[in-house]
Amino acid sequence: MRLSRYFLPVLKETPADAQIASHRLMLRAGMIRQASAGIYSWLPLGYKVLRRLEQIVHEEQQRAGHIPMLMPTLQSADLWRESGRYDDYGEEMLRITDRHNRDMLYGPTNEELITDIFRSYVSSYKSLPLTLYHIQWKFRDEIRPRFGVMRGREFLMKDGYNFDLTKEDALHAYNRHLVSYLRTYERMGLQAIPMRADSGPIGGDDTHEFLVLAETGESEVFYDSAVTDIKLGSRDIDYDSVDQCKAVMEEFTALYARTDETHDEAAFNAISEDRRRVARGIEVGQIFYFGTKYSEPMGATVVNDKGEQVPVHMGSHGIGVSRLIGALIEANHDDNGIIWPEGVTPYHCGIVNLKQGDAEADAACDGLYKALTDAGLDPLYDDRDERAGAKFATMDLIGLPWRITVGPRGLKNGVVELTSRRTGESEELSPEIAVSRIKDIYKDI
C-alpha cells in the first residue's frame, strides 16, 4: 500500500474523552471512529488488524479440530424463552420487535441458537464429539461502554460450543480449548493468564478467564508471580490426546491465579509473600463447561450405545477479538504510539522516502516495495510529499515494527536504514540485505 492512496485519517490532537492509551491511540492512528456510544466503525487500518486477529483465531481453532460456521446477529426470542434466559439476561440484551410484532434480539451470545441447530440434526452419539464456532458481532447494552473497543456495546467475538456424550469428554474439550487459547494469544505476542473465575449469566461450574495484565484492566486479579513464567512456546500438542491437553491445563492452572470474584484470601496467603501479586487485568477470553444446562431444557439429546436418550454435555468458549486490539495496544505502546508485535501488525514494514521526487530515492523505494511484496510481505510505503519528521511521526504512531528509511545521502553509499520500532535501534544495510532481514523476521509468522 502506498500511503498517498490510502485512507489513514490520523489525528494530531489527543482526543479529550479517551481515558486510556489504547483508546487514544486507536483514535489518533485512524483505526476506529465512534458511530455512537460503544459502537465503532473500523477504518482501514483498524479493520486490517481486526482481520489479522480473526485469521489467527481461525487458524488456531481449526488446528484444534473446531469447525467454523456463521450464525446471524439477530435471533428469535422464542429460543431464549426455552432456555429461560430471555427474562434472566436483563438489560444488557437489546430487544427488538419486527413489523409482525415478533420478539427478536441482537445476540449477546449464541448458546440457544447453536443448541437448536444441534438438536435439529444430531441424534446419535456416533456424531460426537463436535465443536462448532463462529466469529460474529455481538451486542450487549453495557451500562457504561468505555475505553473504546475494550468495553463496547457492539463487539466482535469468537464463540465456540462443544457437544460431547459424557462429562469426561466435555472436560477434554475444555482442556483442548484452554491449550488452543494459550496458543492463540501467544501467537499474537500476548501473555494471557488463565484464572479461575465466576461463570456469570452463561452458567456452569468450571470456568477460566484469560487475563492480560495491564494497569488499565477492569478486573482485579490475584496471582502467584510464578504463573507469568509459564509459556506454551513451540511445543507440539496433540489436540486429540486427553493426557497431553490435561497436562497443559494442570500446568497452567496449578498455581494460584484468580479474579476478585473467586478470590480466596486464605489460599492466597499460603503463597510465599514475595510471590503474591495483586494487580489488574483485561479479560480477553473465557471458557466454560456447563454440562446439560442448555441441552436438558432444550431437548438436545442423543441416543447412546445402550439405546438411551441422554442430554449432551456442553461448554462454550469465547475470545474477545475486538477487545484484544485494545489489550494488545495497552501492552505494546510508548509515548509516540503503538508498537505492534510482528504476529499482528497491519503492515509488515514501513518504507519512508526522505526525499520524494528525487529520482534515485523514488527508484530505491519502488525497488524495496517490489522486493517485499514479491516475497509475500505487505509493506506500507510513505510516498507523500511530506517532511521527514512528519513521516516518522506517522510511522511511530501507527506502530509498524520495522521501518526502512531511504534518502539520497545513504543511497550514495549504497545503504538504507532499518529501524526497530520497539528498540529504536537502526542499522545501515544495503537494500537487498534489508529485505532479506525483513523476510527472515517474518519467516515463521
User: Does residue 320 interact with ligand ATP by CB under 6 A?
Assistant: yes
> Which listed range, 25-33, 281-289, 334-342, 386-394, lies at the site for ligand ATP (CB under 6 A)?
281-289
Q: Which is nearer to Mg ion, 261 or 428 (CB)?
A: 261
**Pair 440, 386: CB distance under 8 Å:** no
User: Does residue 148 interact with ligand ATP by CB under 6 A?
Assistant: no
294 binds, among ligand ATP, Mg ion, none (CB under 5 to 8 A by kind): none
Shortest separation between residue 12's beta carbon and ligand ATP, angstroms: 28
User: Does residue 140 interact with ligand ATP by CB under 6 A?
Assistant: yes
Shortest separation between residue 54's beta carbon and ligand ATP, angstroms: 14
Shortest separation between residue 233's beta carbon and ligand ATP, angstroms: 24
Q: Which of 103, 141, 142, 378 binds ligand ATP (CB under 6 A)?
A: 142
Q: Which of 23, 24, 119, 151 binds ligand ATP (CB under 6 A)?
A: 151
Q: Give the nearest residue (CB) to ligand ATP.
A: 320
Shortest separation between residue 286's beta carbon and Mg ion, angstroms: 4
315's CB contacts (< 8 A; 6+ apart) are 161, 162, 170, 173, 174, 177, 204, 206, 287, 288, 289, 290
User: Does residue 286 interact with ligand ATP by CB under 6 A?
Assistant: yes
151 binds, among ligand ATP, Mg ion, none (CB under 5 to 8 A by kind): ligand ATP
User: Does residue 283 interact with ligand ATP by CB under 6 A?
Assistant: yes
User: Does residue 331 interact with ligand ATP by CB under 6 A?
Assistant: no
User: Does residue 152 interact with ligand ATP by CB under 6 A?
Assistant: yes
Neighbouring-strand partners of residue 158: 135, 319
Q: Within positions 35 to 94, which residues make up the interface with ligand ATP, using CB under 6 A?
A: none
Q: Within positions 102 to 131, which residues make up the interface with ligand ATP, using CB under 6 A?
A: 109
What distance in Å separates the CA atoms of residue 129 and residue 169, rounded to the nearest whole number? 8
What distance in Å separates the CA atoms of residue 88 and residue 83, rounded to the nearest whole number? 10
User: Does residue 160 interact with ligand ATP by CB under 6 A?
Assistant: no
> Which listed range, 58-66, 151-159, 304-312, 377-385, lies at the site for ligand ATP (CB under 6 A)?
151-159
Q: Which is nearer to Mg ion, 53 or 157 (CB)?
A: 157
| Interacting residue ranges for Mg ion, rule: CB under 5 A | 286
Per-residue binder mask for ligand ATP (CB under 6 A), 218-257, x = binder: ----------------------------------------
> Which listed range, 316-324, 364-372, 408-416, 431-439, lies at the site for ligand ATP (CB under 6 A)?
316-324
User: Does residue 157 interact with ligand ATP by CB under 6 A?
Assistant: yes
Q: Which is nearer to ligand ATP, 127 or 199 (CB)?
A: 199
Which residues lie near ligand ATP (CB under 6 A)? 109, 140, 142, 151-152, 155, 157, 200, 202, 283-286, 318, 320, 322-323
